[in-house]
Structure 1
Amino acid sequence: MRLPTLIKAPLALQALVFAMLTAAPARAEEPSAGITDDTVKIGISGPLTGPVAALGAIADGVRTRTDPINVAGGVRMADGKTRKIELLVEDDGLDPQRTLTNVRKLVEREEVLAVVATAGTPNNQAIGRYINQRGIPNLFMYSGVHELAGPEWEIGFVPSFTTEAATFAKYLLDNKRQAKVALLYLNTETGQTFQAALESAISDSGVTIVAAQPVTSADPTVETQLSTLKASGADTLVVITGPRQGAEAVRFATESGWKPTTLISNIAASIASLKPAGLENAKGVITSQFLKQVNASMPGDDVGVKRYLADHAAAQSKFSTEDALGQSGYAIGDALVKVLESMKAPTREAMMEAARNLDHAQLDLLLPGITLTTKTGEDVYPIESLQLFQFDGAAYQPMGDVISFEGKTPRH
């Protein structure tokens, strides 16, 4: 900084002006609300109760990762201080208005530094304007729609639904070129984004969508929609719904005698999610994954899986070790730690700077070959790769190699 010449000013005045000018950078580095020398407060709003309470495993997964870190002393951050992570969790039942109410409470009353792992596309849309106006980081949203209402202050985690749709399309184009697809989709931007991306990916090919039926999370059953899809003559069923409805679709497809090739979004395809359908009915189901397959009885030699299982036991987590939703939460907690470790200042701005510039960050539960990479202004998608798996009645088996869309995720 170039300082003005103070030749004729008294020495005391010179000293005062100099102090005022040089103090400005220090003020810029003052800690944001929610962070002290010892702790950092992080808020979570998620569906702990209600028809989609299974998604509550995401919040519990974040806690599963952070609790053992706190027991060990906390996170060593880039400013040289070690801080414990204080999680504050609020139940929203996946109601967008309750999500907004919760986030306002977390920010204004609890004074959290950031919110993390907000589940649901409509829920993240509901808080987008608020977090953007207040400058609150909304980190690692559990939504595959990344372009929401507060782009300067939010970042997703799971691969974009456009990436998953392109992955499913690649499978059909490579293995079932004349597939007649029936689509069961959430009637939100989640399902609509997936549908548009799938249609784009199969355009000008022999794969066609012959029927599509929307559902909502409040629907008590989806049998009517599935009956309509079956009557269409489709030989392939693609499901982009929540866990309960995904399980219903699997059971219906088998027990009704339809038996189409079934592809289910990873949000509904964990073994824990499929159990209500009867695992024998789920045999042959295909899904995409970015997380390792965890078998607690046979953990193997994978260091990351072993740490996850140890953390799960230590935190006395409520979700099954095989629950992909809980695993996703654990991975989000892991990603949060990476961001905290690389923050150069105790501010919300520094947190977003770190989250927007992840350089092939490795997480314990990510599949080999999949890392977190972002770049300010260019790449908003931390994960842009997926691998297809098929359920054999007991476990998921890999189908081919990781399919990468790094730097070329289809835009919404």
Structure 2
Amino acid sequence: MKYWSAVAAFLMSILAIPAQAQSPGVTATEIRLGQSMPYSGNASAYGLVGKAMLGYFEKINKEQGGVNGRKINLISLDDGFSPPKTVEATRKLVEQDDILAIFGTMGTAPNTAIHRYLNSKKIPHLLVTTGATKWADPKNFPYTTPGMISYQTEGKIYARYLLQKSPNARIAILMQNDDFGRDYLEGFKLGLGANAAKMIIATQTYELTDPTIDSQLANLKASGADAFFSISLGKFSSQSIKRVKDLDWKLTDFIVPTSSVSIKGILTPAGLDAATGIVTSSWNKNVADPTWANDAGMATYLKFLKEYMSAFDPNDSSMVTGYNSAIIMTEVLRRCGNDLSRDNVMKQFASIKNMKLDMLLPGIEVSLSPDDFRTYKTLQMMRFDGQRWNLFGQAITE
């Protein structure tokens, strides 16, 4: 009897161990995550977000042996910022590569294309690199979480800024014709409140397939507007900044979204002189700002760049986005321990409270709950002086 009891106990122990280890994308030595990024196409400047994520996981694997004894393998595919290609890449990652979770995929339209598919399969769709409001909807889409501040929140903050600084502004808006653009516009109008109808005097849209936005900018200038909100991405952000200068459009206020702050990827192609004076916001520290010269978090980040991202310009803020999200993802996996089931991944994500990151501005933390998946809720305004971004005013929380 003792012999058979021992055999039974042994067999039960063998069966019990893989029960956790056999989660999709998980082996005894590896955790597989997947994503698609715009390494080519109109939004290729943002591909650096994915490269920073890859670099951070390389750091964790090399310096710490991964997480809880398992190395993180992020399979990062190029989708060219094309939703059909995102669908193709995501299906490959899920159905062939057998990933645990989709992490950090870039863009509103690409993520929209895979939103229902991933939630229907109960696959974590984490820290998407887009700020559409719909990503923070745990009631209807419990497996999707945002990795950026809500576009609506950001739009509201810009509206409040204008109401205080230029209450009589005549505002022109260029808007990408998708959920990205509509979310910003909705937040901006909500922030302006009853003033929206009289202050917004012209709106033009563009499609991601448009070669240029020259005609839209010419029409907006002709409206007589003295304030401009360019709700644009990638090359269209660069084009809008350059074209405003080429048209000699005299603006009192020129606002761009947080996705347009990259000096190398967005402002330099437009011309740094053309970008001088534009305003945006941030939740991150700026590498070029001497304020952080002796900051411990900045020192840690710069060390990471030197050792794992040395081929890239340290001033490119896209890398900070990837770095922050990779840190949060690593912490989620660490909290999971040996229970790397997809449901536990979501549970551990929602349990994060008061998490500080190396590159977050003072007073900004990551706090989540099962009912609130919004990763960031606070912003601070900043202005470009021709060489670097400068913070001004106080941080604003919605």
After TM superposition, the score normalised by the length of structure 2 is 0.90
Q: Which amino acid aligns with 1:340?
A: L
The alpha carbon displacement at 1:398 in A equals: 0.8
Name the CA distance, whole Å, in 2 between partners of 1:371 and 1:34. Answer: 30
1:229/1:296 Cα in 2 relative to 1: closer, same or farther (>3 Å)?
A: closer
Aligned to 2:354: 360
- Secondary structure of the residue aligned to 1:397 is strand
- 1:237-316 mapped onto 2 (5 Å cutoff): 237-260=228-251, 261-272=253-264, 273-295=266-288, 300-316=293-309
Aligned to 2:49: 58
Name the CA distance, whole Å, in 1 between partners of 2:235 and 2:200. Answer: 23
Give the unaligned 5+ runs of structure 2: 1-8
Name the CA distance, whole Å, in 1 between partners of 2:10 and 2:28. Answer: 25
Name the CA distance, whole Å, in 2 between partners of 1:21 and 1:65. Answer: 38
The alpha carbon displacement at 1:146 in A equals: 3.7
- Secondary structure of the residue aligned to 1:60 is helix
Q: Which amino acid aligns with 1:256?
A: L
1:83/1:297 Cα in 2 relative to 1: closer, same or farther (>3 Å)?
A: farther
- 1:311-350 mapped onto 2 (5 Å cutoff): 311-316=304-309, 318-344=311-337, 345-350=339-344
Name the CA distance, whole Å, in 2 between partners of 1:27 and 1:327. Answer: 36
Q: Which amino acid aligns with 2:207?
A: T
1:201/1:232 Cα in 2 relative to 1: closer, same or farther (>3 Å)?
A: same
- 1:143-292 mapped onto 2 (5 Å cutoff): 143-148=130-135, 151-205=141-195, 208-260=199-251, 261-272=253-264, 273-292=266-285
The alpha carbon displacement at 1:115 in A equals: 1.2
Structure with the greater alpha carbon radius of gyration: 1
Q: Is 1:46–1:91's contact at 8 Å kept on the other side of the alignment?
A: yes
Name the CA distance, whole Å, in 1 between partners of 2:294 and 2:29. Answer: 35
Name the CA distance, whole Å, in 2 between partners of 1:289 and 1:296. Answer: 13
- 1:27-46 mapped onto 2 (5 Å cutoff): 29=20, 31-46=22-37
Name the CA distance, whole Å, in 2 between partners of 1:324 and 1:100. Answer: 27
Name the CA distance, whole Å, in 2 between partners of 1:40 and 1:22. Answer: 22
Q: How many pairs does the alignment contain?
A: 391
Cα deviation, 1:82-116, whole Å, max 9, x if unaligned, reads: 22111111111011111111111111211111111
Q: Is the aligned partner of 1:373 residue 2:367?
A: yes
Task: Flag the structure with higher helix content.
Answer: 2
The alpha carbon displacement at 1:25 in A equals: 9.3
1:20/1:128 Cα in 2 relative to 1: closer, same or farther (>3 Å)?
A: farther
Cα deviation, 1:383-412, whole Å, max 9, x if unaligned, reads: 01111001111111111111112xxxxxxx
1:32/1:146 Cα in 2 relative to 1: closer, same or farther (>3 Å)?
A: farther
Q: Which amino acid aligns with 1:375?
A: S
Q: Which amino acid aligns with 2:223?
A: S
Q: Is 2:59–2:308's contact at 8 Å kept on the other side of the alignment?
A: yes
Name the CA distance, whole Å, in 2 between partners of 1:230 and 1:162. Answer: 25
Aligned to 1:122: 109
Q: Which amino acid aligns with 1:157?
A: G
- Secondary structure of the residue aligned to 2:396 is strand
The alpha carbon displacement at 1:251 in A equals: 1.7
Name the CA distance, whole Å, in 1 between partners of 2:208 and 2:310. Answer: 25
Name the CA distance, whole Å, in 2 between partners of 1:338 and 1:44. Answer: 18
1:171/1:232 Cα in 2 relative to 1: closer, same or farther (>3 Å)?
A: same
1:266/1:162 Cα in 2 relative to 1: closer, same or farther (>3 Å)?
A: same
- 1:67-146 mapped onto 2 (5 Å cutoff): 67-76=58-67, 81-146=68-133
Give the unaligned 5+ runs of structure 1: 1-17, 406-412
Name the CA distance, whole Å, in 2 between partners of 1:237 and 1:379. Answer: 32
The alpha carbon displacement at 1:23 in A equals: 12
1:74/1:253 Cα in 2 relative to 1: closer, same or farther (>3 Å)?
A: same
RMSD: 2.9
Q: Is 2:285–2:292's contact at 8 Å kept on the other side of the alignment?
A: no
| Greater Cα offset, 381-390 or 340-349 | 340-349
After TM superposition, the score normalised by the length of structure 1 is 0.88
- Aligned-residue sequence identity (percent) comes to 30
Q: Is 2:156–2:189's contact at 8 Å kept on the other side of the alignment?
A: no
